[in-house]
């Protein structure tokens, strides 16, 4: 896997920022999904600000309201204050050196904390990773994640996963967690 600024990451960011090639939309009118998001709110918890901003723009163009967090403490605050319908949660976070080290968060620990908050018990979580998703499949299943998204996939795949989770359609296999898991 190349870094975010490598070829793979740059392509993903470009794809996130561009509307789908299906059909043409007038330049004066922003792209909107054919199935509007009905004002649903997504909480994005990632430490990479470029990825976070690109993903925010993509989801807002689809009609979603977006809240963001960059670390565990920020995610807990946002979950309480923003009442998201779904959480997109990165698996890896760097140590919080600026604040004395703090808690060494990872997505799985953070998900346990979020589940311990009354407002977070039932909020579906989609994990995001740039690493080999096969390494995390079993842990994601065991933790109760709604899905696992690999950053190298097309952004439309993530949007589709979000829509299926929020609408209650789709199996764990379609969300990247089935027995025949492949990316």
Residue spans of the domains in the chain: they are 7-21+35-167
By the 8 A CB rule, do 52 and 68 touch? yes
Give mean pLDDT, residues 27-35.
Answer: 38
- The contacts of residue 90 (CB under 8 Å, 6+ apart) are 45, 46, 47, 48, 107, 127, 128, 129
How many Å apart are CA 147 and CA 157, to the nearest integer? 12
Percentage of residues of the chain with pLDDT beyond 90 = 28
From 24-33, 66-75, 110-119, 164-173, the region with the lowest mean pLDDT:
24-33
Average of pLDDT values for 121-147? 85
Q: What is the pLDDT of residue 65?
A: 96
Q: Mean pLDDT in the chain? A: 75
How much is the pLDDT for 174? 53
The pLDDT tens digits of the residues spanning 53-105 come to 999 999 999 999 999 998 888 889 999 999 999 999 998 877 665 556 666 67
Position 171 scores a pLDDT of 57
pLDDT at 55: 93
pLDDT band (50, 70, 90) for residue 17: low
Contact residues for 29 (Cβ-Cβ < 8 A; gap 6+): none
**When comparing pLDDT for 175 and 47, which is higher?**
47
Q: Does 122 have pLDDT greater than 80? A: yes
Nearest to 78 by CA among 61, 64, 66, 60: 66
Instruction: Return the CATH fold of 7-21+35-167.
Output: Rossmann fold (3.40.50)
How much is the pLDDT for 69?
92
More confident residue, 180 or 147: 147
Return the pLDDT at 140.
Answer: 85
Rounded to two decimals, the pTM is: 0.72
Provide the token pair at 102.
């703090």
Give burial (CB, 10 Å; 0-12/13-18/19+) of 133: buried
According to the model, what pLDDT value does residue 172 have? 56
């Amino acid at each position: 896997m190349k870094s975010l600024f490598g070829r793979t990451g740059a392509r993903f960011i470009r794809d996130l920022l561009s509307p789908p090639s299906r059909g043409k939309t007038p330049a004066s009118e922003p792209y909107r999904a054919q199935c509007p998001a009905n004002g649903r709110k997504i909480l994005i918890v990632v430490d990479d600000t470029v990825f976070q901003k690109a993903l925010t723009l993509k989801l807002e163009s689809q009609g979603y309201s977006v809240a963001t967090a960059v670390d565990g403490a920020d995610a807990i605050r946002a979950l309480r204050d923003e009442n998201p319908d779904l959480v997109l949660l990165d698996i890896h976070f760097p140590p919080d050196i600026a604040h004395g080290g703090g808690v060494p968060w990872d997505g799985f620990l953070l998900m346990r904390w979020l589940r311990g908050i009354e407002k977070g018990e039932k909020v579906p979580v989609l994990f995001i990773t740039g690493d080999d998703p096969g390494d995390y499949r079993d842990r994601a299943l065991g933790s109760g994640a709604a899905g696992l998204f690999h950053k190298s996939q097309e952004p439309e795949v993530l949007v589709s996963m979000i829509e299926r989770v929020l609408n209650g359609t789709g199996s764990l296999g379609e969300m990247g967690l089935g027995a025949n898991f492949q990316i």
